[in-house]
Amino acid sequence: DTGVSQNPRHKITKRGQNVTFRCDPISEHNRLYWYRQTLGQGPEFLTYFQNEAQLEKSRLLSDRFSAERPKGSFSTLEIQRTEQGDSAMYLCASSFVAGGPYNEQFFGPGTRLTVL
Amino acid sequence: AQSVTQLDSHVSVSEGTPVLLRCNYSSSYSPSLFWYVQHPNKGLQLLLKYTSAATLVKGINGFEAEFKKSETSFHLTKPSAHMSDAAEYFCVVSERDTGNQFYFGTGTSLTVIP
């Protein structure tokens, strides 16, 4: 396994358009996380999945955002009616959690979104 | 509530001199703490982690961090900086009771002067 992969790596879109990003986690990992990173800031949590169930969503995740993880494998993050403020790096991470505190997350390279 | 404060947004050191990147955290429970590094156009890479075992944690590339509960600190150090250490460094806190989501600091940009 080569780690977490994300596609596309870059996306340029016009305001008002919909975009969808894909994340493929490390295969045996049961947790998948989405983060957003803007310039000069640390990544901010958006949402996470335990297998196929979406367990938590941040207040940052407005109604225009939706995430899915069908069958507990890959995940998609869709942004509808994009706004310029959505321009950011979207990061995906995965981990294997079995009840203990140790939960190293493995990050993908990110998808950089630019909304014109 | 969990939070992380990275006390320096930029640190500049000469090659071969020690590195100190400071991090203070806030946590309601027993936290897990991490340092990640981000090189330009590269993904986040784990440097080291603290998960309630030894308080002095050794990581990759000669980095170390010491968990000090009384000071709520988890500072990152390296005895001798190398040019390849120039990058953005993030301190992260996580708690099992909050779904293990990560709370990142705002990052410290490390510059290494030849």
**Residue B40 at interface with chain A, using a CB cutoff of 8 Å:** no
- CB < 8 Å to B90, chain A: 42-43
Q: Would you state the pLDDT for residue A101? A: 57
Residue A33 or A100, more confident: A33
Give me chain A's average pLDDT, please: 91
Amino acid at A29: H
pLDDT band for position A104 (50/70/90)?
Answer: confident
- As to burial, measured by CB atoms within 10 angstroms (0-12 exposed, 13-18 middle, 19+ buried), residue B33 is buried
- Give phi and psi for B54, each to the nearest 5: -65, 140
Q: Which of A40, A100, A105 sits opposite B102 (nearest CB)?
A: A105
Residue B109 or B43, more confident: B109
